[in-house]
Chain A
Amino acid sequence: MKKNDCFFRESRFPGIQKLINVMKLTFTLLLISVISVYASETYSQTKVLNIDMKNSTVKEVLQNIEDQSEFYFMYSEKLVDVYREVSINSKNQKINEVLDELFAGTNVDYKIKDRFIVLSTPDGADFEISIQQQKAVSGTITDENGEPLPGVTVIIKGTTQGTVTNYNGEYSMQNVEPGSTLVFSFVGMRSQEVIVGDQTKIDIVLEVDAIGIEEVVAVGYGTMKKSDLTGAVAVLKNDDIAYKATANAAQALQGKVAGLQVTNSGEPGSSPVIRIRGLGSVRSNTEPLYVVDGVLTTDITFLGNNDIESISVLKDASASAIYGVRAANGVIIITTKRGNKDRISVTYSGYAGVQVPVDVMEMANAQEYIQLLNEKGEIAAKKTGGSFTPYDPSTYTVSTDWYDEVLRSSAFTSSHDIGFSGGNEKTLFAAGISYFEQEGLMLFDLYKRINVRASVDSKVRDYLKIGFSLNLSNRNSHNSPNVAQAAFIAPPAVSPIDPETGNYMAMTEFGDYANPLVDLMFIDDRTNSNRLVGSAYAEFYLMKGLSFKSSFGVDGSYTRDRIYREKYELTGGTPSDEIERLQRKMSYDYNWYWDNTLTYTGQLFDNTDITAMLGISAQDQSGLWLFGSRKGVVLYEGYNALYLNLGTPDTQSNDDGGSHIASSSYFGRVNISHMEKYMLTATVRRDGSSIFPENNRFDIFPSLGLGWVVSKEGFMADQKAFDHLKLRASWGEMGNNRIPELTAVGTVDYSTWNSTEFGGIIHQGASATYIGPENLLWERTQEYDLALEGYMLKSRLSFEVDFYNKKTIGAIFPVTVNSALGASNSSYLDNNADVLNRGVELSLGWKNSYKEFNYRLSGNIAFNKNEVVALKPGTIGIYGGWMNVNSSTYTTLGHPIGEFYGREVLGIFQNMSEIENYKGPEGTPVQPNAQPGDFKYKDQNSDGVINDKDRTFLGTALPTYNFALSYYMEYKGIDFQVDLYGQGGNHIYNAKRFRQIGNENYDKDFYDNRWHGEGTSTTYPSADMASNDNKVVNSWTIEKGDFWRIQNIQLGYTIPQSLASKIGIGGIRVYANAANPKTFFKYKGFSPEIAKTGAEAATSQGVDSYVYPMAATYNFGVNINF
């Protein structure tokens, strides 16, 4: 092995250095043992034994052989006299030599099969007799209600011999020895063990295990029993999300997990903004890491709800730190559908429905609009000293409701999924195909997705398990331009279409406004992408408790975008020469990973279980894109002739780009559980990422978690209140490397803005004037978590409460470059801030049943406080939330990220004397240019004038709490479920309303409440919102964003089994569902959910400019089990 110092690179943690050395040694030792184990094919021929025993029984000798080797013996004491005394001395002998000597002179014969040796007598029947002494056992497994339980695993303890119950809950097993113990287990039920004895029929009633003690949870590079967890991990099953009519699984997560905040936008198929435990970074990506069957990704819009088997949300550092430098925003592990070993099942689930826009803001109509313009013009004229000729309202007979024009009144959606799964003891498979289609509320918006999935897990040999999963998805969408803002500002007193020519109107009568329909009608923007996410693994069981797993996965996608702008003519405007412009973009992304892990599971001492895992991982992400455009591509029938080569050559433009990031990691984890009472989880990961400078590429992320099941202590034995009570505490460090690529690297800029023209010829230019950070590192998050969880009242009540303190150290924060240096960048990203998120999460569940009536009630609530707690000296706060060149947020020390920042409104000037009497310290009017109806601002710095220096903090844009409540009931086949979700504490900048710069339209609420004469309003300004002091960001424009909504109501009916089986199917459930039918909020916009994405999203939270109405979805569905 080449001497390589990357293992020994100096570390911030001196102790870790040693640990790494130990790890390396361990690896080497394990490798040696691995190699030796693999020689086992000829184990009996190679294994040598040393025995020196005098006057021992045969049984003792056999015991000795078992102790020093992996051989084990099977015999009947009735046939083989094992109490015969012998003396034996053999050195370096093989097993057959030893046995020959041991049984010399007796009639005992032996057969060696691998490590398994059968002793018998030569008459041959003896062994058979011993088998015949074994017997058959059968029985029925039911639940507490007497319902048969299919799929219960029945195994003989200490062996792999077993079976599962059939659909009627029945099982039968042959060859069970009377002395053996049967173990009955089923997910969600408490396992039971029964000694067979002389029974031949064993019926079992399994009890629901409220603690979920058997539940196995994906925790990253392995699984853990839920009961052994020391970190904050929330688990969702397919059932928890599949019932929702959302476009993708990410959208369905809203309200499902305490501390997970999901903000949906109304665009079909879009990815919601997801935050786990607040916002830890100002400029890095803050979305969680998704791990889909081992593939690390940041986008799961390719997955449908039915593709998913389970989801683990790793919330704290103890759980997430195993993902090291990508874990700081939390980790969501997704396992796609796997087979069940009980039986082959074929399922269909599908629904169809309509979406209708809800809470559509009413806008001023033409008459109201003209009235507002006249009020505005009159006041503005007074300010500028000009004159104003009012519009004559009687000439405007047309009144257009632009949202009516650009939105669908109902949009169709449907989903179909066929699943096929099954398996046996050794092999499980699952396959499926699904189709999802959703029209957007914006006219012509359409999203379609087809998924094909398959997975196989097979224990092909007793030492080898292999498997794979694949998910191929195709997305096909027609992306309508978002004309929400254009529709908001478009004058209503204009007809969309010229009735004489049928052309669209240019809309220049009141200023230069885009006709919102023009972009919708004439821009054809389509995306077609294919994405394949797949992985394969092989797991070797090397020796008892030790296994080696190697998995390789790919995430490849190919996307085509085509935007075509048709030629069109408008009435009343100058023609646009954006004629027949075609743009095409192709992008290709390919990521792969290779993980290798060694896992040891065993006992450290009596009652002390240990699972230790060591692993390495290599990852590589690369992508490229190619863009081209031309004008003059004529639209023929259909869209099949939209190719660049059909355009005008001298209008061509092209560009391309690429990216490449790689990382390599070493990691390890130890779980120790003593008597299922005390648990410890320790992880460490060492990561290297190419995105950082060469001298600064590696770092180590440790974590530690402790668990204490208090209810298992003796002093708790007599209490009845708690069935289960567990205390968890954890600490850990995680990283975030998701900064823009090339942040740390200076490159030459060959963009054509560097080129120029001399003498009519383009002369190429280039520059290299980027100033970057000298020592950029990842963001490092330190998190503490303290939690209490348990079950009470016969496990009917469950609770979990977590307190956390999560500090991002060295958060990426822009550092201002001295502008006199003339760098191409005004700032660069560096580790310059500390951000603290503190919070509490509480989850409660209640479930009970009364005869055939079952119900569940569950809820969660999470509080989070966000604050920038340190800025390195010389770092200046960041202005953000830009709109019309005005910033609306300021991020600085002692405040949450992206807190709103503007002027404080004291009221509305009612008359001139109020303006004249509002005087500064020097006795001069503070707002001398104001008119009645204008905002009166607080002079924060008391300097007698109102300007940018009078800005103050106007409230956080980040929700400080969110909550969800869910109720489910089921009675005689009828089920009913309702989910509520809400959040609050945040503020929204009503930028949509506040983009007034000229004759934009107003909303009806403004019309109804505006100031239009003394005493008419003390809160709303006059219609003159566009003039100087009125249009700056102020406390009137920052509104509270609290809301709660009825997120889902579902009523279902499952047809009785007897009826279903008559028509030859396993079961049918039909249901009706209403998603997001009603949201309660006071904010004066369409929706209080403002989903911001992009590089500056963190400092632009809650800026509402392009948000359009949310949709309520009403759908009917059916689930069929064949």
Chain B
Amino acid sequence: MKRNILKTIVLAFAVLLIVSCEESFLNFEPEGKLPEEEFFVTEAHAEQAVNAAYAHMRTWSQVAFPLYAIQEMPSDNALKGSAVGDAAFLNDYVYFTVTPNEGQVSDYWSSRYKGVNLCNQVLSNIDKTNTSEAKKVRLIAEAKFMRAFYYFDLVRAYGDIPLVVNLDDAVAEASVRVPKADVYTQIVNDLTDAATDLPVQYDSQNVGRATKGAAQTLLAKVNLYLENWDEAATLTDEVISSGQYRLMDDFWGIFRIDGENCAESVFEIQCPYDDGDWNLTNCQNAEPQGPRGDYGWGFNVPTDDLANAYDEAGDTIRKNATIIYFGKEAPNGDVIGGIGVNEMEGVSVPRYNGKVYSTMQEREELGWWCSWGANVRVLRYAEVLLINAEAKARSGNPSGAATSLNMVRQRAGLPEISNPSVEQIVNERRLELAMEGDRFFDLVRTGQAASKLASNGFKTGVNEVFPVPQNIIDMTNGTITQNSGY
């Protein structure tokens, strides 16, 4: 008996020597996670990967501080706002003192490249999945639309940039800047493909995905930047004649939660709201712009210059919907609360971007944090008409321009202009699309930046683009170069 026990123990010892030497003891799959080798196998994986590229559009760096900092605050439309000193770094964008280390510059950059990568993942891997052919064509087109969307932001903000389109060559592509013309070529190609393959509309369970109209509109907008007026006019004519879209009567209503995916919407970022899931409910576009001391933080506030522009145009409908003042009534009757007079940085009477305001009724009905679920409007039919007008005006078709322009003016309650100038159309763009993220790029594109922004410190030849983030310059040992002047 004793012998047996002892033998067993000794045997166990010997066995352990072998067993623990087995590498299998150390080899197991990660707990609770799917290894990446198991991805891109099924059609579901392909769809999930495309969905992730959409989902990325609503993340902080896409829709919050970096967006305001790059696309709105440098323009004559907006100031930092909020309390004195809170997020003071945003003033670097208002006053053109930004340095390559500033966080918004690098967040804007890296976030959009993340979006590009999510699209590249789909485009490079979808052939490994068992996705049906029809679905594959659509998913590829969606990915191309989004890749163009992300690159359009990048090329406008930074000029020449690394152009990463191929996963196999990604490291090499990411280490060198290409001329912005090459980036635009890629954008045009992707959008052209997308416009060909995307459906005109989706079933009710897929509303919000990129459509043919969205691709055409974005391509038309890109063509404004490329000064291809005819293409821009043709594309927008097609969108107009598709009959898919119309201007809504109530300008204020477009921007409310009830107005999401309305008939005027060409593309908007879908932002889910789920009370229990704050990873799903993570779109903070509206909250940082909401009334400070009420539900919001009070950043990215309209300037007096913008207010004056509305006043000069006699435009009260859009002014009241775009700029909401502390202590005054919003178009729906809410009295705007929050911090009081002299408590907002840069202005005496606090004011906010009305286009992202959560009404008290919405908060009452949908919940206090409902602004997190508000979709971000990217392309509206009004912009289709304004692109159309501008392209036609610039290509010598003032009557065509007037038709489109006046549809927009009419909705805003303004008199028609029979023979509009380019300047008038660009000004109309400002009034219609203010605080929607286009103004600074428009000022640069139309050559007005120097004159409009010099008083804020805009330097011609430097501030048309933002600095390339310092860390990519450091980590590539300078193969990525800095924009001049930074």
> Is B3 in contact with A821, judged by CB distance below 8 angstroms?
no
Closest to A622 in B: B31
Query: Is the CB of A769 closer than 8 A to any CB of chain B?
Result: yes
A31 to B38, CA, bound (A): 45
Query: Is the CB of A1063 closer than 8 A to any CB of chain B?
Result: no
> Is A380 in contact with B30, judged by CB distance below 8 angstroms?
no
A616 to B15, CA, bound (A): 12
Closest to A879 in B: B101
For the complex with contacts A1-B14, A818-B472, A876-B471, 15 further pairs of A-B residues with Cβ separation under 8 Å are: A2-B22, A7-B21, A384-B84, A616-B16, A631-B275, A659-B32, A758-B209, A759-B206, A766-B49, A816-B471, A816-B475, A818-B174, A821-B113, A822-B113, A1027-B88
> Is A659 in contact with B31, judged by CB distance below 8 angstroms?
yes
Task: Say whether, besides A748-B34, A766-B49, A996-B85, A874 and B270 are in contact (CB < 8 Å).
Answer: no
Query: Is the CB of B196 closer than 8 A to any CB of chain A?
Result: no
Which single member of B14, B51, B121 contacts A768 (CB below 8 Å)?
A: B121
Task: Say whether, besides A2-B18, A745-B30, A769-B121, A758 and B206 are in contact (CB < 8 Å).
Answer: yes
A55 to B209, CA, bound (A): 109
Which single member of A7, A697, A885 contacts B103 (CB below 8 Å)?
A: A885
Q: Mark B446-472, 1 if CB is under 8 A from A, else 0.
A: 000000000000000000000001011
11 A–B contact pairs at CB < 8 A? A4-B21, A381-B342, A596-B16, A755-B52, A768-B39, A819-B469, A820-B161, A821-B171, A822-B114, A998-B86, A1026-B83
> Is B279 in contact with A753, judged by CB distance below 8 angstroms?
yes
Which single member of A690, A748, A767, A818 contacts B26 (CB below 8 Å)?
A: A690
> Is A690 in contact with B34, judged by CB distance below 8 angstroms?
no
| Contact residues in B for A754 (Cβ distance below 8 Å) | 48, 51-52, 55-56
Q: In chain B between 105 and 147, which residues have their CB closer than 8 angstroms to a CB of chain A?
A: 106, 109-110, 113-118, 120-121
| Contact residues in B for A387 (Cβ distance below 8 Å) | 342, 348
CB distance from A1078 to the nearest CB of B (A): 37
Which single member of B10, B19, B117, B173 contacts A38 (CB below 8 Å)?
A: B10
Q: Mark A633-654, 1 if CB is under 8 A from B, else 0.
A: 0000000000000000011110
Which single member of B51, B174, B207 contacts A759 (CB below 8 Å)?
A: B207
Most buried by A among B13, B205, B368, B474: B13
> Is A822 in contact with B120, judged by CB distance below 8 angstroms?
yes
| Contact residues in B for A502 (Cβ distance below 8 Å) | none
| Contact residues in B for A756 (Cβ distance below 8 Å) | 51, 54-55, 58, 208, 270, 272
Which single member of A659, A768, A818 contacts B36 (CB below 8 Å)?
A: A768
| Contact residues in A for B26 (Cβ distance below 8 Å) | 662-664, 688-690, 697
Query: Is the CB of B335 closer than 8 A to any CB of chain A?
Result: no
CB distance from A39 to the nearest CB of B (A): 7
Query: Is the CB of A394 closer than 8 A to any CB of chain B?
Result: no
CB distance from A691 to the nearest CB of B (A): 9
Task: Say whether, besides A380-B84, A821-B171, A745 and B18 are in contact (CB < 8 Å).
Answer: no
| Contact residues in B for A38 (Cβ distance below 8 Å) | 3, 6-7, 10
A697 to B173, CA, bound (A): 33
> Is B472 in contact with A1, judged by CB distance below 8 angstroms?
no
A576 to B161, CA, bound (A): 45
> Is A765 in contact with B17, judged by CB distance below 8 angstroms?
no
Closest to A886 in B: B89
A27 to B25, CA, bound (A): 21
Which single member of B13, B271, B294, B475 contacts A757 (CB below 8 Å)?
A: B271
| Contact residues in A for B106 (Cβ distance below 8 Å) | 819
A1028 to B295, CA, bound (A): 25
Which single member of A27, A747, A876 contacts B30 (CB below 8 Å)?
A: A747
Query: Is the CB of B347 closer than 8 A to any CB of chain A?
Result: yes
Q: In chain A between 90 and 126, which residues have their CB closer than 8 angstroms to a CB of chain B?
A: none
> Is A742 in contact with B49, judged by CB distance below 8 angstroms?
no
> Is B116 in contact with A822, judged by CB distance below 8 angstroms?
yes
A688 to B18, CA, bound (A): 14
Q: Mark A723-758, 1 if CB is under 8 A from B, else 0.
A: 000000000000000000110011110111111111
> Is B84 in contact with A819, judged by CB distance below 8 angstroms?
no
| Contact residues in B for A377 (Cβ distance below 8 Å) | 342
A596 to B19, CA, bound (A): 13
| Contact residues in B for A1028 (Cβ distance below 8 Å) | 85, 88, 91
Query: Is the CB of A447 closer than 8 A to any CB of chain B?
Result: no
Query: Is the CB of B399 closer than 8 A to any CB of chain A?
Result: no
Which single member of A27, A653, A745 contacts B17 (CB below 8 Å)?
A: A27
A92 to B36, CA, bound (A): 68
CB distance from A1096 to the nearest CB of B (A): 16
Closest to A996 in B: B85
A753 to B270, CA, bound (A): 12
A524 to B81, CA, bound (A): 36
A596 to B13, CA, bound (A): 7
Query: Is the CB of B241 closer than 8 A to any CB of chain A?
Result: no
| Contact residues in A for B3 (Cβ distance below 8 Å) | 38-39, 41
Q: Mark B36-67, 1 if CB is under 8 A from A, else 0.
A: 10111000010111111011101100000000
A1025 to B89, CA, bound (A): 15
A1 to B10, CA, bound (A): 15
Query: Is the CB of B276 closer than 8 A to any CB of chain A?
Result: yes
Size class of the B contact interface (CB-based, 8 Å): 35 or more
> Is B30 in contact with A742, judged by CB distance below 8 angstroms?
yes
> Is B23 in contact with A6, judged by CB distance below 8 angstroms?
yes
> Is B369 in contact with A577, judged by CB distance below 8 angstroms?
yes
A360 to B100, CA, bound (A): 42
A195 to B26, CA, bound (A): 58
| Contact residues in B for A630 (Cβ distance below 8 Å) | 276
> Is A997 in contact with B86, judged by CB distance below 8 angstroms?
yes
CB distance from A751 to the nearest CB of B (A): 5
Closest to B295 in A: A574
Most buried by B among A4, A31, A754: A754
Q: In chain A between 364 and 401, which residues have their CB closer than 8 angstroms to a CB of chain B?
A: 377, 380-381, 384, 386-389
> Is A767 in contact with B35, judged by CB distance below 8 angstroms?
no
Task: Say whether, besides A381-B342, A662-B25, A1028-B85, A822 and B208 are in contact (CB < 8 Å).
Answer: no
CB distance from B325 to the nearest CB of A (A): 15
Closest to B173 in A: A820
Query: Is the CB of A618 closer than 8 A to any CB of chain B?
Result: yes
Query: Is the CB of B476 closer than 8 A to any CB of chain A?
Result: yes
> Is B48 in contact with A765, judged by CB distance below 8 angstroms?
yes
> Is B205 in contact with A753, judged by CB distance below 8 angstroms?
no
CB distance from B200 to the nearest CB of A (A): 16
> Is A35 in contact with B7, judged by CB distance below 8 angstroms?
yes
| Contact residues in B for A742 (Cβ distance below 8 Å) | 30, 33
Query: Is the CB of A923 closer than 8 A to any CB of chain B?
Result: no
Query: Is the CB of A129 closer than 8 A to any CB of chain B?
Result: no
Which single member of A39, A745, A753, A1027 contacts B59 (CB below 8 Å)?
A: A753
> Is B277 in contact with A820, judged by CB distance below 8 angstroms?
no
> Is B341 in contact with A389, judged by CB distance below 8 angstroms?
yes
> Is B292 in contact with A766, judged by CB distance below 8 angstroms?
no
| Contact residues in B for A508 (Cβ distance below 8 Å) | 293
| Contact residues in B for A27 (Cβ distance below 8 Å) | 17
Query: Is the CB of A594 closer than 8 A to any CB of chain B?
Result: yes
A630 to B83, CA, bound (A): 34
Closest to B117 in A: A822
> Is B110 in contact with A826, judged by CB distance below 8 angstroms?
yes
Query: Is the CB of A694 closer than 8 A to any CB of chain B?
Result: yes
A747 to B274, CA, bound (A): 25
| Contact residues in A for B109 (Cβ distance below 8 Å) | 819-820
> Is A618 in contact with B20, judged by CB distance below 8 angstroms?
yes
Query: Is the CB of A823 closer than 8 A to any CB of chain B?
Result: yes
> Is A656 in contact with B55, judged by CB distance below 8 angstroms?
no
> Is A767 in contact with B348, judged by CB distance below 8 angstroms?
no
Which single member of A652, A767, A820 contacts B472 (CB below 8 Å)?
A: A820
A126 to B104, CA, bound (A): 101
> Is A758 in contact with B270, judged by CB distance below 8 angstroms?
yes
Q: Mark B291-312, 1 if CB is under 8 A from A, else 0.
A: 0111100000000000000000
CB distance from A924 to the nearest CB of B (A): 13
Query: Is the CB of A147 closer than 8 A to any CB of chain B?
Result: no
| Contact residues in B for A694 (Cβ distance below 8 Å) | 23, 27
Task: Say whether, besides A6-B21, A508-B293, A618-B25, A819 and B272 are in contact (CB < 8 Å).
Answer: no
